[in-house]
């Protein structure tokens, strides 16, 4: 490109679009699963697209990665073993490994090329990949969870793309049953759950499938995410019936954490637990 131009992503379900002023295409690869493109923007750093859909930008990815990891890890009493399904850009892995009590973190993403492109163009997200507690697998996350030993995991984080293509199998009862079986009695499942403004139906369906798999209590936490449709996103936490304290979190530990975050804090966490009335009405809390 010789002059800045605009890249737009149209999102039919919300009747809206998002655009970025881009200066050039930096890279492109067609993996066996999807097309991955990297663009340079004028104001948002690098931009990653997968099959034409915005995945992340340098400027705002910290919102998503921090909210996908820290609320669950500070809700669990003592998380030691974490499994991340998806998350190939490695940003969630980086945030998980900020917790010194975590003894192992397995990241299982089906597409190795997402990680290779992140290492090249979003190196800051991959700075913990060499941590001895980290294990990067490039395999089918559905199969990985199905083969996990029962009661062996404290937190499962489903850091997936939208429920289409390679991620479609991560939004149904069979997958959630595998997660339920792998989690300890006090374990937590957390999954990215799309826009609470425009896609409440999908969130409701997701929670219903989790309930069919045995999960008994749920909490959907909203957070800002400018690069995703509507600019407002969410993660949904699920626990087994009777889990102590449900979604109360270790607020003192969150307030006194010894590592930096740019968005997450104890106050932000507490605020995210205050479900907006229209969301509570639709989801039942």
Contacts of 231 (CB under 8 A, 6+ apart): 224, 225
Under 8 Å between Cβ of 158 and 189: yes
Residue 106, Ramachandran bin (φ over 0: left; ψ between -120 and 50: alpha; else beta): beta
CA distances to 40, 148, 199, 226, 236 from 59, in Å: 12, 35, 24, 10, 24
- Active site members: 159
Under 8 Å between Cβ of 237 and 223: no
CA distances to 85, 107, 170, 213 from 216, in Å: 21, 26, 19, 9
Under 8 Å between Cβ of 48 and 36: yes
Under 8 Å between Cβ of 157 and 188: no
Please name which of 268, 210, 274, 271 lies closest in space to residue 66, comparing C-alpha atoms.
Answer: 268
Under 8 Å between Cβ of 159 and 87: yes
Q: Are strands 134-137 and 104-108 parallel, antiparallel or unpaired?
A: parallel
To 10 degrees, the CA torsion angle through 278, 282, 283, 285? 40
16 C-beta neighbours (distance < 10 Å), count: 13
């Amino acid at each position: 490109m010789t002059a800045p131009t605009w890249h737009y992503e149209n999102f039919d379900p919300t009747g809206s679009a998002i655009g970025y002023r881009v200066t050039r295409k930096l890279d492109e690869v067609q993996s066996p699963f999807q097309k991955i493109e990297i663009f340079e923007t004028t104001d948002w750093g690098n931009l990653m697209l997968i099959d034409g859909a915005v995945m992340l930008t340098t400027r705002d990815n910290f919102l998503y990665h921090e909210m996908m990891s820290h609320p669950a890890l500070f809700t669990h009493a003592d998380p030691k073993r974490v499994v991340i399904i998806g998350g190939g850009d490695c940003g969630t892995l980086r945030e998980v490994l900020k917790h010194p009590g975590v003894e192992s973190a397995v990241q299982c993403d089906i597409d190795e090329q997402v990680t290779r492109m992140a290492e090249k163009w979003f190196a800051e997200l991959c700075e913990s990949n060499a941590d001895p507690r980290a294990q990067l697998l490039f395999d089918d996350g559905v199969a990985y969870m199905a083969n996990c030993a029962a009661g062996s995991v404290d937190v499962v984080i489903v850091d997936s793309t939208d429920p289409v293509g390679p991620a479609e199998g991560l939004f149904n009862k069979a997958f959630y049953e595998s997660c339920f079986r792998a989690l300890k009695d006090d374990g937590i499942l957390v999954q990215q759950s799309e826009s609470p403004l425009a896609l409440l139906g999908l969130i409701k369906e997701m929670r219903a499938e989790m309930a069919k798999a045995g999960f008994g209590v749920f909490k959907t936490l909203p957070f800002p995410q400018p690069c995703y449709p509507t600019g407002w996103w969410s993660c949904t936490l699920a626990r087994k019936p009777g889990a102590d304290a449900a979604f109360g979190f270790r607020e003192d530990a969150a307030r006194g954490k010894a590592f930096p975050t740019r968005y997450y804090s104890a106050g932000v966490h507490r605020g995210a637990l205050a479900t907006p009335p229209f969301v509570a009405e639709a989801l039942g809390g």
